[in-house]
Amino acid sequence: NAGVTQTPKFRILKIGQSMTLQCTQDMNHNYMYWYRQDPGMGLKLIYYSVGAGITDKGEVPNGYNVSRSTTEDFPLRLELAAPSQTSVYFCASSTRGTGELFFGEGSRLTVL
Amino acid sequence: GENVEQHPSTLSVQEGDSAVIKCTYSDSASNYFPWYKQELGKRPQLIIDIRSNVGEKKDQRIAVTLNKTAKHFSLHITETQPEDSAVYFCAASLTGNQFYFGTGTSLTVIP
């Protein structure tokens, strides 16, 4: 049982480039989330999904897109990367609302 | 949306002393309040949570209290140990669709 797996762990992007952060979970969780973590700012929700085919915006969705075609996968797409998107990104899943969040190991993204 | 404030941002205690971290929330409808611990370079992990129908919950050296009237909840760690050193985050949620996190408290336990 691998839990929540994110790739890549580290990535450096140039301004204007695009990329996809991959997230997979093998716990059959319906709920999946993408957070970004900036120093001293806690965790901010970017997008979330309550099941395959359903996604919704969180607190800071601008500049990002997501899709949820399967229960297992929840990729995060960055279009036209900007320095403000330099951050650590965490994918998380839970079996239900108001339950424990299981986080991936994080992906450190730098935009130069 | 919900606004969660967390204090203090940094906390240093001597080994064996107690540590208290406080959070306030703005939406009185929030009903689930977890606490996460994040060690340096690691992922956040749940250490304890409380629901709005409970005033206090304890798990060994860790306890959480909730005051719904005042809209605040606190994490208490007793008999602190060096391995308790980490960043602690509180959060609040109404539906579980969105968790609103505090800005974190960096706890250092001095041996």
Q: What is the pLDDT of residue A1?
A: 76
Window 43-62 of A, Cβ < 8 Å to B: 43-45, 48, 50, 56, 58-59
Q: What is the pLDDT of residue A32?
A: 94
Find which of A29, A38, A43, A93 to mutate to test the B interface (most B CBs within 10 Å of its CB).
Answer: A43
Q: What is the pLDDT of residue A96?
A: 75
Question: Mind giving me the DSSP string for A33-92?
Answer: EEEEE-TTS-EEEEEEEEETTEEEE-S--TTEEE--SSSSB--EEE-S--GGG-EEEEEE
Q: What is the pLDDT of residue B96?
A: 66
Per-residue pLDDT tens over the stretch A43-61: 999 999 999 999 999 999 9
Give the nearest partner residue to A43 out of B89, B96, B97, using CB atoms: B89
Q: What is the pLDDT of residue A98?
A: 66
Q: In degrees to the nearest 10, what's the CA dihedral of A91, A99, B38, B18?
A: 170
Q: What is the pLDDT of residue B2?
A: 85
Average confidence (pLDDT) over A76-91: 96
Q: What is the pLDDT of residue B62?
A: 98
Cβ distance B93 to A105 less than 8 Å, yes or no, reads no
Q: Which residues contact B111 (CB under 8 A, 6 or more apart)?
A: B15, B82
Average confidence (pLDDT) over B16-39: 95
Cβ distance A99 to B31 less than 8 Å, yes or no, reads no
pLDDT band at A21 (very low <50, low <70, confident <90, very high): very high
Q: What is the pLDDT of residue B98?
A: 80
Average model confidence (pLDDT) across chain A: 94
Compare B29 and B12 and report the one with higher pLDDT. Answer: B12
Q: What is the rounded distance in angstroms from the CA atom of residue A61 to the CA atom of residue B46?
A: 25
Q: Is the pLDDT of residue B109 over 90?
A: yes
